[in-house]
Amino acid sequence: MGDRRMQWRLLRTGHNPGAWNMAVDEAVMVHVARGLSPPTFRLFEWDPPTLSLGRVQSFERDVDVGACESLGVDVVRRPTGGRAVLHDVEVTYSLIMSEGDPALPAGLGESFSLATQGIIKGLRLLGVEAEIRGRDEGEKRGRAAGGTADAGGGAVRTGACFDSPSWYEVVSGGRKLVGSAQARLMGVFLQHGSILIELDAEKLCSLLRFSSDEERAAAARHLRSRATSISQVLGRRVGFREVEDAVIAGMRSHIAPIELVEGDLSGEELALANALISRKYGSPSWTVHRRAEP
């Protein structure tokens, strides 16, 4: 065995419901905060498809509950900020580590790059050229396209994450490919995000509230102009495992000499995750109401 101070844990937890996925992120955070779990990089998917909301996003304003029910889409609320993401045909990642870890840069941009530069290296192994773009560049692009400089970043404002500029984002061909969010809680750094394998703009917009069908159609067009997917870039179908393997290889290259060692959730982490589903992530009181604090 190598030096554990130079090892991160890799988790591949597969397809699970949204409440379980969010509960696992928090359970790992708690155990990292207590010094019981190592820095953890996790890759996972969603079953059933799930609409996740940012921590302070309005459920009543943005979510069409009837559409979610009819399409079999769950709704959860993330512990991080941002807008709605439809987790369907994608690989999702999370990076969880102590804020005091010497491998974690202090600045927002540098800490964002810790995970995303590894993901970019993995995407390149698939044949996808991607780069990090800062907020200023995203806002300039929105204005050049005839949009506004508000949080929507363009002429159409929606509740969807992938249509709005973030402080930093991963783009391919000028369009957003990886949407990410950060939180620092309990002395722990969490960054998680969606690596889109396929993008269904119409499906996402069908789950959100709009004042008219025309506005919904315009929002879908706007989203397609701002976001892309691995399959669209490559012009072929891509599997979950193929993306996971490439991202892992990219992360291993990026964080070397730190080792990324595949492992499992501990029994204590699983027990806490199940408790968090019952009292938090699976509870309507958490999902429906905005949270100023997680």
Hey, which residues are catalytic here? 161
The dihedrals phi and psi of 128, each to the nearest 5 degrees, come to: -100, 120
Question: Measuring CA to CA, which residue among 40, 45, 13 is closest to residue 239?
Answer: 45
The dihedrals phi and psi of 257, each to the nearest 5 degrees, come to: -85, 5
What whole-number distance in Å separates Cα of residue 166 and Cα of residue 169? Answer: 6
Give DSSP secondary structure letters for 157-207: --SBGGGS--SEEEEETTEEEEEEEEEEETTEEEEEEEEES---HHHHHHT
Alpha helices (H) in the chain, listed in sequence order? 18-33, 59-62, 65-70, 108-126, 135-144, 201-206, 213-226, 230-234, 240-255, 267-276, 284-288
Give the position of tokens 């012009």.
235
